[in-house]
Amino acid sequence: MLPTIVIIALFIYFLGKKYRSYNNRKYELRLFRLRDRLRDAAVSGKIKKDDWTYYFLDSSISKMTKNLRSVNIFYAMYLRKKHINDKAITDFNRQLKFKLEKNSEIKAIYNEFQTILNMYLLSKHIVLLSMYAMAVYGYIKSIARIKSLKLEASDSIEKLTLVPETSTSIDFMQHNKSYANYSKAYC
């Protein structure tokens, strides 16, 4: 009986490991495809290549692709809490949203960037989220808690695309480097 349990446990462990590897690679490829779409839009003229939003998205998607395996929902929530009162990020987010409203193509790419991260984190933590849902099931306040958790996770994912740890926003904030110096490095 014990050897059977050990074999099943090892099988589940290795199956989980293979799934995580497959899942990470799948979302890395989705981010590469999104970055290619961004670059194709710049080549075709749908997006101005000399606009800072193009460089921000291109470099942030690349940075996220590189760091994707280390990103998880807990890290996203930690970063949200860490930067919740960061005026520079709030100002940068306001500038970014203003620029995104001017170009529907770049806005669609940015929204897809957030969607890919959202789907990745959900797929990475599906078992954990299921266990959490089962644990709070039956409590009267569980529905409100799940809604607040969903809002917190959504806000965390938005912050994940803006904070310096997982994006290149610091390079584009006015108080740091000038865009001219940054664009010279990439042009």
**How much is the pLDDT for 177?**
47
Query: Which two tokens mark 176?
Result: 């740091």
94 pLDDT higher than 70: yes
Give the pLDDT confidence of 112-163 residue by residue, as tens digits: 999 999 889 888 877 666 655 555 555 545 556 666 766 677 777 777 788 8
8 Å CB contact between 109 and 38: yes
Closest-CA residue to 47 (of 127, 2, 106): 106
For the whole model, what pTM was predicted?
0.73
Mean pLDDT taken over the chain: 80
Average pLDDT for 74-84: 86
Q: Quick check: 183 pLDDT over 50?
A: no
Q: CA distances (Å), 156 to each of 19, 78, 105, 124, 145, in order?
A: 24, 8, 24, 15, 16
pLDDT at position 145 is 62
Digit-coded pLDDT (tens) for 11-42: 777 777 787 788 899 999 999 999 999 999 99
CA distance 83 to 78: 9
Q: Calculate mean pLDDT across residues 48-54.
A: 90
N-to-C CA span, the chain: 65
State the average pLDDT over residues 98-124: 91
Structure confidence at residue 171 (pLDDT): 79
93 or 125: which carries more pLDDT confidence? 93
- pLDDT of 67 above 80: yes
- CA separation for the pair 155, 177 (Å, rounded): 27
Q: Is the pLDDT of residue 101 over 80?
A: yes
